[in-house]
Every structure is written in structure tokens, then in C-alpha cells.
Structure 1
Amino acid sequence: MTDQITPSPPSGAPRPRSDHFVNKEPWDPYVSERLTAEQEKYYMAGQWKLMWWRFRRHRPAVVSAVFLALMYFSTVISEFIAPYDLHTRHSAYIFAPPQRVHFIHEGQFLGPFVYAVKTTRDMETLQRVYTADTARPQQLRFFCLGDSYEFWGLIEGSFHFVCPPEGGHFFWLGTDRLGRDMFSRIVYAARISLTIGIIGIALSFALALILGGLAGYYGGWVDNVVQRITEIIKSFPHLPLWLALSAALPVTWSPLLVYFGITLILALLDWPGLGRAVRSKLLSLREEDYAAAAQMMGAKPGRIIGRHLLPGFMSHLIASATLSIPSMILAETALSFLGLGLRPPITSWGVLLNEATDINVVAVNWWLMLPVIPVILVILAYQFMGDGMRDAADPYG
């Protein structure tokens, strides 16, 4: 048996051409071999698999996707990662500066440790002055018992990844005006800031598919009504509209209702962009032969849109939705920073930054601005990942 196939064409017949054979000998055009397993795997791959292969070649997008996956995983175990509870106060360490983590003390390796903190009072400014006592190294504890908490408000526990030293404190990113650990609060705030973008884009995505799908498939007066609504929404400046709607939320609402109210506001103002993309695609695809055949066979409009039209460009919509998540995170951060978004006891990155609105406080206690770092990193990661997904979904890329 051999993989070679030698046909016997009639005299004067043109050279056969086939996409499934490749010339092996340049002097004999009829000696050929079949596609290799790798070639066949590539040519027979589906749309989603081709997208995954193209996405893997985009290094910044892959690194960003891994970073975002770790960030979202941290929101699941925030209580375990944070060394202190969200509301634990240390009244003796108000506005304490960040503590450096050391490994070597006087030439001896001790592992991760911090120096004890000495507190004095500046009699001229009456401010507390914190200095490190380099003669008292205190080793950090890992996988230990510390502050008690309720895991997701359901299960009581006290197991932490890192705990302060015995008889000491560990303020990696300093403390705020009430003596609360900034690192623990940033970890807890990530759960709110990251999930509000996901939930908001899910609602916005659903509205865009429904309204944009109806406008693109039916056209006529339905299309006119939907387009006028989108034009009205997009004609307003987003920030003043966010402020107006957020200020309209009743002050008597519970923090949970405020959270869902802000999410709904962001979703209602973000769907027009995705809705127009859905409409433009459906206007072109509804005239295709397979859509007309499905309609002639008695398929209902909902089935034609959901089973035949939307899957053809769903990859592009997912890429567009990914690029819209950062805008929602920034919107929530901006509203909470201005005091019109989420309010304590709910803690988000914007709520933390709200405490840094006084320039005098920031000039002295610069670590209050540290919550802006995860905001910047997450936004950049979403941008890089969205660019990679958009390039992977482009069939002409």
C-alpha cells in the first residue's frame, strides 16, 4: 500500500487540480500525496476553533486574559486573600503608611517579615509619625487563622492566606482615616467593581440582541422606532445623564438595591452601540438564501434570528461586548468617586477613591490613591484582550 495516487488521464487532458492533493515530484505532475493530519485539522476546523488559534498568537491578549482570570478568581476568595476583615479598625494606626516586606535582617535570611511600627506625635502639627523599629523584625504568617468573617455572607470562617505577625500589625498598603487596612479593602472592593461590569454588559447585551435584532429583521416602522430611541440616548452626554439618573435613586434604598440600580442605569445607556451593530448585520444577512429558505419552510422569526442569523456574527458581538466592559467599570468608578454611585457600606474602587478627593490629604497620605492602580490595570487588560478577540474574529485577518 502507498499514499501515492497515479491517475491515468487521456492524452491531451489538462493537469488535474485539487485542493486535497499537493505535488510531490516537480517533474511528474500526476504523482501527489494526501494532506497531512495537521493540514486536514486546519482546513476542517470550525469558526470558534480558528478564532482560538488566532487569539493564542496574540501575546498581549493572552497575558491580559490570564490576568483578568486571576482577578476574577480573587473576587471569589476575597475573604481568604485579605489579611483583615473589611471593617476592622485599628484606631492606634490612623493614616499609617505602607509597610515594606523584607526578607533579610542583618545578613540573615528570615523569610517575609516586617519591622514593628513605633508611633510618636509631632507637637507642631499634632500629627502621628510612624517609624520602623529595625531592631524588631516580625515574621508574617501564612495559611493561618486571623480575623473572623462570613464567606459570601453565608459561611463563618477565619482562615487567611496571610496574617499579621503575632503581637504586631501588617499594613502592606497603609491604612485610611479610620485605621482600616487599604490592601484588604482593595481586595474586597474588586468583587463589586469587577462584577458590576459583567452584570451590566450582560443586560446591555440582551437588550442589544432583542431590540437590534427586531430592528434589523423586520425593518420598517420597527426599525424607525428603535433607531430614534438609540439616537435620543446617544445624543445626551453620558456623564451628566449618569449623574442625573444616579441622583434620582432613593436614598432610602438598601446598598444591594443601589448596586442593582447603578448596574441597570449603566446597561440602559450602553446598549445602543451594540444594538446598531446587531441591526446592521441582520439587515444584510436576512437577504441571504439560507434565511429565505428557512422562512419558506415555515420557521418563525425568533428561530430564524436565533438559530440562523445571530450565530453568523456572534464572535464579533462578543469582541465588541468585551471592549464595552471597561467603560462600565470606569462609569461606576466615576459615579462612586463623585459620591453619586455606590455608597458605604458597599465598597468599590470608586468608593475608596472618594476618600482621596481632598488634595491636602492626598499630598500627605499618598497611599489613598493606590486603588486607582487596579482600575488602570484592569482597563488596559480588557483593551488588550478585546483587541485580540476582535482580530481573532475577523475572517479577513
Structure 2
Amino acid sequence: MTSNPNKSLEHFVSSADFDPQTVSKLTPQQERYYTASQWQIMWWKFRKHKLALYSGIILVCMYIVALLAELVAPYSLHNREIDHIYAPPQVVHLFHEGDFIGPFVYGFDYQLNMENLKREYTPNPAKIQKLQFFCQSEQDYEFWGLIEGNFHFICPDEGGTLFLWGTDRLGRDVFSRIIYGSRISLTIGLIGVTISFVLGTFFGGLAGYFGGIVDNLVLRAVEILKSFPSLPLFMTLSALLPVTWSPLGVFFGISIIQGFLDWPGLARAVRSKLLSLREEDFTTAAQLMGASHARVIGRHLLPSFSSHLIASATLAVPMMILGETSLSFLGLGLRAPITSWGVLLNEAQNINSVVLYPWLLLPVQPVILVVLCYNFLGDGLRDAADPYK
């Protein structure tokens, strides 16, 4: 007796209550996910990483502040208050003797301590100096060196002072100089990483994809560059910059030097990854379909480990910021009249000054904040770009 296979199949389907329409139907959430682009999926995954999301917001705010430094800083870059040298930070108050007055600071009474020659400033409650917002100040500036103006988001009261983070040895407002210094310190990392990223992915991609003599040449170049001590090499290249260059030219020169010294590490990582990916079936399929070498590398291989590239780029930016800060602190990087966080910390080398005037170390706070934010942001972007998470 022969059995009917079609009848057995129908019996199996009916017994399992199989409904093709029910199985193939997607919920609106599933349909939205399966029809989304790669960038949309990355954004949805990144939003779940709250620490990375908040870090990205903080970094965006810091770059906006750097862009609008002339408007945000209450004082101009080179403004000097000779009557308030080494003045301590002024605390912003809202109430005075129980009465609401609004944002204000107390003025200072000054005297020189003849025992230790320390300048002593005492807040005087009788000197109430209200803060002004969206105001025109006596502090004129040229916005990005192009447009003259005197508009500020916050200004001291007429005849008063506003030293949120104190002043330095020349009576210059530390808070304003930190804001101006953010332009250099935040930008130098982006320029250096861009150069390093382009060189690292280019030479690493060539070495990993082609192999052979190309791989040997790239590896030998990487080994030669890595064999030099980084600090003496940086000092030598920095010394070669012409003394006649403007401060802006020196800034770009330092950025380019940092980029050229940092690419070998990324090139090694790209090379090792492409050595394995070039043997995959999708690479062979792309080659058989007539795709050029540049298309195979750029459209198929590099996106396959984009999470590693993103993490490397985001981690390289704070490292370059730390490098510029450290070298400028030692007097080997940027120098006055350029203003960066490292140049500001250079004034805190005298331990006696730090003991007497600890607010001179305040420029280290934005450095720590930027490094932490970039690290958290890199973790979030790496997880969002990882296809296996």
C-alpha cells in the first residue's frame, strides 16, 4: 500500500495549524527595522548607550563654545586687569542676606601679605556686582579675526569684575582664556586624526589587500617610523618649522606632524584585518563581478570592520589632544602668543605658584572632560557599528 505524499503534507500542515499569512506577517516595529538603512540601525543602537549619547552632546556643546569663543568669553583674549593679578575665582550668588537679587558676585578688597608676599583678596558683601546677559561690553574683539564686535553672552557689571576661574600672573581671566584655548586644543586633534586616518587606511589597505612586495614595503616603513622615539622625533620636526611662520602656521605644522607620526599603528590594524577579509567569499564574488581594487577595498572590506575604525579614530583624538597638551606644557609644542590648554598649563609649572594660586591648574579640567567624553563616545559608536551586537 503506497501512501500519498501530498496527503501526508496536508495532514502535517493542518495538525501544526500552520498559517503562511500569519507567519510571514511582520509587526510595524519589525517592518521598520528590516527596511531601515544601516545608518538608521546604528543610530537606534547608539541611542541606547546613554553614556555615549551624553558624551556626544557634551562634545558638541564644547565645539559650539569653541566656535563662538568671542561671544561666550566675558573678556577678550589678551585683556589685562592689572589691579587684579592672581585674583581668586568669584562665586556667583543669587541671594544677598535672604533677598533675591539675581546672578551677582561680590567685589574684592585687596591687600598684600608682607610675610609671604601673597596677594590676598577678600570678598566684600557691600560690593554687589550684578551679571549682565546678552550685553555689549567694553571688551572689543574681532570674531575669527574678520568681524569686529563687542557683543557678549555674559558681561561683568559696569566697573566690576567677573573672574569665574580667577586670573593669572598678568591679570588675565583664566575662564576666558580656557574658552579661547579650546579652539586650538579641540581642533588640533581633528586635523591630526584626519591625516592619520587617511594615511593609515590607505597604506594599511594596500598592504593587506595586495600583500607581497607592497606589504613588505609598507611594513618596513611602519617599522622604521615606530623605531624612532616619538618625543625626540617630534622635537626634531617641530624645531624644523621656520621661525618666521605665523602662530597659525605653527599650529597647522604641529597638527600635520602629529598626523604623520600616528598613522603606523592604524595601518597595522587595517593590514591585519584585510589579510583575513580578502580570502572571504564576498571578496571573491566582488572580484569575479569585475569590481576594481579600489571598490573592493572601499565598499566591501573597510566597511566590514568599520566598528574598529570608528573606535580607533575616536580614541586617537583625545590622545592627540593629550599629546599637544603635554608637549606645550613642557614648552616643546605650541608657544605663546598661541593660546591652548597646554600653553595655559605651562604657566602652572612653578609649584610655588600652584600652592598659592591653585586655580592656575583649572585648564586641566576640560582636558580630562574631553578625553573621557571621547572614550565613552568611542565605546558607543563601536558597539553601534558592530554587526554582531
Q: Please give the TM-score of this superposition, normalised by the length of structure 1.
A: 0.90
Paired letter, 1:358? N
Matched, 1:113 2:104: yes
Q: Name the residue aligned to 1:37.
A: 28
1:49-198 pair list within 5 angstroms? 49-146=40-137, 147-198=139-190
Aligned-partner SS, 1:29: coil
Report the Cα offset of residue 55 of structure 1.
Answer: 1.3
Matching residue within 253, 260, 263 for 2:252: 260
Matched, 1:205 2:194: no
| TM-superposition CA deviations, 1:225-272 (whole Å, max 9, x none) | 111222232334433433343344343332112111111111111111
Q: Could you say if the C-alpha distance between residues 278 and 145 of structure 1 is closer, same or farther in structure 2, counting changes exceeding 3 Å?
A: same
Q: Could you say if the C-alpha distance between residues 134 and 214 of structure 1 is closer, same or farther in structure 2, counting changes exceeding 3 Å?
A: same
Aligned residues of 1:15 and 1:29 also touching (Cα < 8 A): no
Separation in 1, partners of 2:281, 2:16: 44
Q: Could you say if the C-alpha distance between residues 247 and 107 of structure 1 is closer, same or farther in structure 2, counting changes exceeding 3 Å?
A: same
Q: Name the residue aligned to 1:352.
A: 344
Q: Name the residue aligned to 1:340.
A: 332
Q: Name the residue aligned to 1:46.
A: 37
Q: Which moved more, 1:374-383 or 1:292-301?
A: 292-301
Aligned-partner SS, 1:84: coil
Report the Cα offset of residue 328 of structure 1.
Answer: 0.4
Q: CA RMSD in A?
A: 2.2
Separation in 1, partners of 2:210, 2:12: 47
Paired letter, 2:373? A
1:317-332 pair list within 5 angstroms? 317-332=309-324
Q: Name the residue aligned to 1:5.
A: none
Q: How many residues get paired? A: 382
Separation in 1, partners of 2:15, 2:75: 73
Separation in 2, partners of 1:15, 1:282: 52
Matching residue within 213, 235, 254 for 1:221: 213
Paired letter, 1:29? F
Separation in 1, partners of 2:371, 2:46: 19
| TM-superposition CA deviations, 1:198-225 (whole Å, max 9, x none) | 1110111110121111111211111011
Report the Cα offset of residue 384 of structure 1.
Answer: 0.7
Report the Cα offset of residue 125 of structure 1.
Answer: 3.5
Q: Name the residue aligned to 1:292.
A: 284
Separation in 1, partners of 2:304, 2:119: 64
Aligned residues of 1:197 and 1:328 also touching (Cα < 8 A): yes
Separation in 1, partners of 2:367, 2:340: 11
Report the Cα offset of residue 393 of structure 1.
Answer: 2.0
Flag the structure with higher helix content: 2
Gaps of 5+ in 2: none
| TM-superposition CA deviations, 1:110-159 (whole Å, max 9, x none) | 00001111122223344432111111211111100111101011111110
Separation in 2, partners of 1:197, 1:240: 20
Separation in 1, partners of 2:272, 2:38: 21
Q: Could you say if the C-alpha distance between residues 207 and 42 of structure 1 is closer, same or farther in structure 2, counting changes exceeding 3 Å?
A: same
| TM-superposition CA deviations, 1:270-290 (whole Å, max 9, x none) | 111221222223223333444
Q: Which moved more, 1:153-162 or 1:236-245?
A: 236-245
Separation in 1, partners of 2:328, 2:81: 25
| TM-superposition CA deviations, 1:286-323 (whole Å, max 9, x none) | 33444334434544322332233333333431222111
Separation in 1, partners of 2:308, 2:150: 44
Aligned-partner SS, 2:74: coil
Q: Name the residue aligned to 1:249.
A: 241
| TM-superposition CA deviations, 1:25-60 (whole Å, max 9, x none) | 997233725111111222333332222222111111
| TM-superposition CA deviations, 1:132-190 (whole Å, max 9, x none) | 11112111111001111010111111100100111111111000011000000000000
Q: Name the residue aligned to 1:28.
A: 17
Paired letter, 2:115? E
Paired letter, 2:157? P
Q: Could you say if the C-alpha distance between residues 365 and 296 of structure 1 is closer, same or farther in structure 2, counting changes exceeding 3 Å?
A: same
Matching residue within 268, 271, 277 for 1:276: 268
Aligned residues of 1:83 and 1:160 also touching (Cα < 8 A): yes
Report the Cα offset of residue 16 of structure 1.
Answer: 8.9
Paired letter, 2:32? K
Paired letter, 1:234? K
Gaps of 5+ in 1: 1-8, 18-24
Q: Could you say if the C-alpha distance between residues 16 and 253 of structure 1 is closer, same or farther in structure 2, counting changes exceeding 3 Å?
A: farther
Q: Please give the TM-score of this superposition, normalised by the length of structure 2.
A: 0.92
The percentage of counterpart residues that share the same residue type is 62
Matched, 1:370 2:362: yes
Aligned residues of 2:307 and 2:383 also touching (Cα < 8 A): no
Separation in 1, partners of 2:285, 2:6: 42
Q: Which moved more, 1:384-393 or 1:109-118?
A: 384-393
Q: Could you say if the C-alpha distance between residues 15 and 383 of structure 1 is closer, same or farther in structure 2, counting changes exceeding 3 Å?
A: farther
